[in-house]
Each structure stands twice: as C-alpha cells, then as structure tokens.
Structure 1
C-alpha cells in the first residue's frame, strides 16, 4: 500500500486536472451534450476533489510513518 501512497504523493495535481478537463471536454463535445461546458466543469471538479483528498491522505500517511 505504501507504493500507492508514494505515487499519489508524487503526482502533479495541475497536470492531472488539466488532462481530466481536456478528456471530459472532448467526451462531452463528441457526445453532443447540450450543456457541455457545465458538464465538463462539474465532472472535473468532482475528480479534483477526489484527487486532492487522496493527496492529503497520502501526505498524512507519509508524515505518520516518519
């Protein structure tokens, strides 16, 4: 499990959020969603909260292991 925490702790959140934003943007435009901008922002916000929570959890686990 320490491998996962190390990976999450090292990952660049800005890069991941940008890639997720672009992937959702292309997905909703390709699907022809009427409110594609809102759907893209909402989906990216959900993933951002999840990734940020995982990053905080990994950082706390790393501090407690020291």
Structure 2
C-alpha cells in the first residue's frame, strides 16, 4: 500500500488516465474528486461489495432455475 499526504487541490495520478484530487477536508472527512475514462468503473467500496454479492446471488439463482427446468423434463 502506498501512503501519501496531500493538501487541498493537490492530486495523485494512477496510471496514465486516472486522477484523484483532494477537493476539501472537514474534520475527519475528506472530499475526493476522481477523473477517469468512462470505461473505468469507480465505486465506493460498500457499493462494490453490494454489487459483488448481488452477482453471486444471481449466479446461484441461475443454477437453481436450471435445476428446476432440468427436473421438469
């Protein structure tokens, strides 16, 4: 893990096309701006984890539906 200190209006560059900029700080909260190409998905970690869980549930549902269909024949 890379650990950096940045001040307001400073940024870091990831790869060639992603910029993370410090927009403001208030107490223990930091507001970030992320500039990335449209084909790069950017999610908060809790949203990403929820998407992954929904995908796992969908996979299980598809297997269950397939088994139901198979058993009807």
Length-normalised TM-score, structure 1: 0.43
Which one scores higher on RCO, CA 8 angstroms, separation ≥ 6?
1
Greater percentage in helix: 1
Length-normalised TM-score, structure 2: 0.39
Greater percentage in strand: 2
